Amino acid sequence: MKNIILCGFMGCGKTTLARALSGRLGLKLIDTDEEIVKAQGRPISDIFATDGEQYFRSLETELIKSLAESEGNIISLGGGLAANAVNHPYLKKAGKVILLDCGIEETLRRISGDPTRPLTAGGREDIIARYKARKPLYLSVADAVIDSSGGKKTTLGLALDIIKSLE
């Protein structure tokens, strides 16, 4: 089985659903942000502050290139990885890409006050603009779209929706 790849904007539930899928399917979980933090030995906010966003994006591309050769994983992408069209061929090669989307208002609610997200410093309008710019890129690489907004389904229900979308 190729990989199951979860993409989407920050706060859409990629990490939570990746954990649920990993447990349910017995597949290894790979979180691209966590892999980069481990390899660099420092938090993403430090990478952004010291080396800049472009450097971080190059790390993402190198990682997804290597993961394109793997199989049988649940891969949770950082929010910007699938928004970079350079990565799309590697994502398609790596497996089935599932876009999680909870809408901008739910996103703003979920990420408000989270100091660990370096791209929230620009405030509400910047986040909305970034969401609107990224969504068409996410859609262009996605094999399926799952509504991950709160209150409609449990994490297990959403995980089952993802599994069903793979059939």
Question: How far is 26 from 167, CA to CA, in rounded Å?
Answer: 17
pLDDT at 110: 82
Mean pLDDT score across all residues of the chain: 90
Residue 57 has a pLDDT of 95
pLDDT band with cut points at 50, 70 and 90 for residue 108: confident
Sign of the CA dihedral running 89, 94, 99, 104: negative
pLDDT of 111 over the 60 cut: yes
Is 45 within 8 Å of 116 (Cβ atoms)?
A: yes
CATH of 3-165, one of 3.40.50.720, 3.40.50.300, 3.40.50.2000, 3.40.190.10: 3.40.50.300
Residue 35 has pLDDT above 70, yes or no: yes
Give CA–CA dist 2/49, Å, rounded. Answer: 35
pTM of the predicted model as reported, rounded to 2 decimal places: 0.90
Tell whether the model's pLDDT for residue 149 goes beyond 90: no
Match 């994983």 to its residue by tokens: 73
